[in-house]
């Protein structure tokens, strides 16, 4: 695998035009954080000073801006999007291929080629791992897990048994996939009896899962995360949930068990979604907002956090009045 790329190769990859050929770069960076082997981008006049002083060897920019730049450039229509597209190119090229001698891999695991398995990673019995997969140090992959090709599991992740993960997924450090769902039946004596959690978690392709996020396995049926779903850090997804294609969920959100969320939804940070409900496609839920009922019509937006900052003294007045609201003798 190459360590970097030349300007003409990159221009061709992006469908852009290179001002200079044979300029070699090996890392992506901001204009200000660049080194002599960086490629960066310029999109916004507020970074003009950074453009003029950058060490970056190549800058991706718009045709209009090419005169601002002294060094090599690649000209494209949307420099930011172009830069984003380079991410995969560079990431793939930088991944090392190594199965660390201290990894613990069950002998019956089926492993693809070009793998990285970090130190003290554990791969259980009957696991299947596709080509070009990265499994970080100290991660634990349970028995019978399937991981598709080109997926990245960061360090200290737990994938419990029987979970299925598609291609091109990225699972950040400390995520827990396939943990036992929170299901208990109350016995007459008042104590709680655990309900067997024997379902799976099925994750599609191109799914991203954030750091320390938890996704429970289904009780009897499966928890399903469809293709293209993006989940941020510290999100909780309960057992038997289903998350539709390309839905995006920001950090600290919680989705209680057995809830089905449609495609292309946008769920803000710290949003709370009740269990056993259905949310239509294209729903937008603002950060911090609670959803307690089905959302039947697609494309609606829901909010219940204040659109202004509430000073403590004002809230004391408002909340005092709220307490009396609707009282008969009021």
Catalytic residue positions, numbered: 239
Taking the CB of residue 101, how many other CB atoms lie within 10 A of it?
Answer: 6
Q: How far is the CB of 95 from its own copies (least distance, A)?
A: 13
Rounded distance between C-alpha atoms, residue 212 and residue 176, angstroms? 7
User: Cβ 285 to its own copies, closest distance in Å?
Assistant: 9
| Stretch of residues binding its own copies (CB under 8 A), selected from 51-59, 67-75, 108-116, 178-186 | 178-186
Is residue 278 at the binding interface for its own copies, with CB under 8 A as the rule?
no
> How far is 53 from 134, CA to CA, in rounded Å?
36
Nearer to its own copies, 22 or 88 (CB): 88
Q: Is residue 116 near its own copies by the rule CB under 8 A?
A: no
Q: Kindly give, in sequence order, each residue whose CB lies less than 8 Å from that of residue 180, ignoring residues fewer than 6 positions away.
A: 160, 197, 216, 217
Considering the rule CB under 8 A, would residue 3 count as an interface residue with its own copies?
no
* Selected binder of its own copies within 84, 97, 113, 276 (CB under 8 A): 84
Q: What are phi and psi of 83, to 5 degrees?
A: -60, -40
Q: Which stretch binds its own copies (CB under 8 A): 1-9, 58-66, 126-134, 321-329?
A: 321-329
**In the complex, what is the shortest distance from the CB of residue 261 to its own copies, in angstroms, rounded to a whole number?**
14
- Identified binder of its own copies from the candidate list 155, 260, 278, 298, rule CB under 8 A: 155
User: Do the Cβ atoms of 91 and 109 come closer than 8 Å?
Assistant: no
48 touches its own copies by CB under 8 A: no
How far is 151 from 168, CA to CA, in rounded Å?
4
Asked whether position 81 contacts its own copies by CB under 8 A, the answer is yes
How far apart CA 34 and CA 52 sit, in angstroms, is 12
Cβ neighbours, 10 Å, residue 158:
20
* Choice between 22 and 237, CB closer to its own copies: 237
- Cα(234)–Cα(252) distance, integer angstroms: 5
88 binds its own copies (CB under 8 A): yes
Residues in contact with 310: Cβ distance below 8 Å, sequence separation at least 6, in sequence order = 318
Does residue 37 touch its own copies according to CB under 8 A? no
H-type helices in 40-133, by residue range? 48-53, 79-94
Q: Which of 45, 52, 193, 299: binder of its own copies (CB under 8 A)? A: 193
Give yes or no for residue 194 binding its own copies (CB under 8 A): yes
318 binds its own copies (CB under 8 A): yes
Supply 260's token pair.
Answer: 């089905």
Q: How far is the CB of 136 from its own copies (least distance, A)?
A: 7
Closer CB to its own copies, 52 or 113, in the complex: 52
Site for its own copies in 59-78 (CB under 8 A): none
Residue 179 touches its own copies, criterion: CB under 8 A: yes
# residues near its own copies by CB under 8 A: 119
Residue from 100, 126, 149, 260 touching its own copies (CB under 8 A): that is 100
- Cα(10)–Cα(4) distance, integer angstroms: 10
Match 């499966």 to its residue by tokens.
222
The binder of its own copies chosen from 92, 220, 276, 299 (CB under 8 A): 220
Single out the residue of 172, 225, 265, 267 in contact with its own copies (rule: CB under 8 A): 172
Total residues found in the chain within this entry:
330
Contact 143, 160 (CB under 8 A): no
Residue 136 · residue 154 · CB < 8 Å: yes
Q: Which residue has the tokens 């003409």?
A: 8
Q: Give the residue, chosen from 26, 251, 260, 278, that forms a contact with its own copies under the rule CB under 8 A.
A: 251
């Amino acid at each position: 695998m190459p360590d970097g790329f030349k300007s003409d190769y990159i221009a061709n990859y992006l469908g852009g035009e290179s001002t200079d050929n044979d300029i070699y770069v090996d890392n992506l960076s901001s204009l200000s954080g660049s080194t002599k082997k960086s490629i960066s981008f310029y999109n916004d006049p507020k970074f003009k000073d950074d453009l003029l002083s950058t060490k970056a060897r190549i800058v991706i920019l718009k045709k209009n801006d090419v005169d601002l730049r002294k060094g090599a450039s690649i000209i494209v229509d949307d420099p930011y999007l172009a830069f984003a597209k380079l991410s995969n190119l560079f990431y793939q090229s930088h991944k090392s291929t190594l199965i660390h001698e201290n990894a613990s891999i069950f002998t019956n695991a089926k492993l693809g080629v070009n793998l990285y398995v970090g130190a003290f990673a554990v791969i259980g019995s009957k696991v299947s791992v596709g080509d070009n997969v990265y499994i970080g140090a100290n991660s634990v992959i349970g028995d019978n897990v399937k991981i598709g090709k080109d997926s990245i599991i960061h360090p200290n992740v737990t994938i419990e048994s029987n979970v299925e993960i598609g291609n091109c997924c990225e699972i950040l450090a400390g995520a827990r996939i396939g943990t036992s769902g929170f299901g208990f039946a109350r016995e007459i004596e008042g104590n709680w009896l655990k309900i067997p959690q024997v379902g799976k978690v099925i994750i599609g392709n191109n799914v991203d899962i954030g750091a320390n996020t938890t996704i429970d396995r289904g009780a009897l049926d499966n928890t399903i995360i469809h293709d293209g779903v993006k989940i941020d850090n510290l999100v909780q997804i309960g057992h038997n949930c289903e998350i539709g294609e390309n839905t995006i969920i920001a950090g600290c959100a919680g989705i209680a068990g057995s809830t089905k969320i449609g495609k292309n939804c946008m769920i803000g940070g710290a949003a709370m979604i009740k269990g056993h409900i259905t949310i239509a496609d294209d729903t937008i839920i603002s950060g911090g907002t609670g959803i307690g009922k089905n959302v039947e019509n697609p494309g609606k937006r829901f909010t219940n956090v204040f659109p202004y900052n509430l000073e403590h003294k004002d809230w004391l007045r408002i909340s005092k009045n709220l307490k009396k609201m609707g009282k008969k003798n009021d």
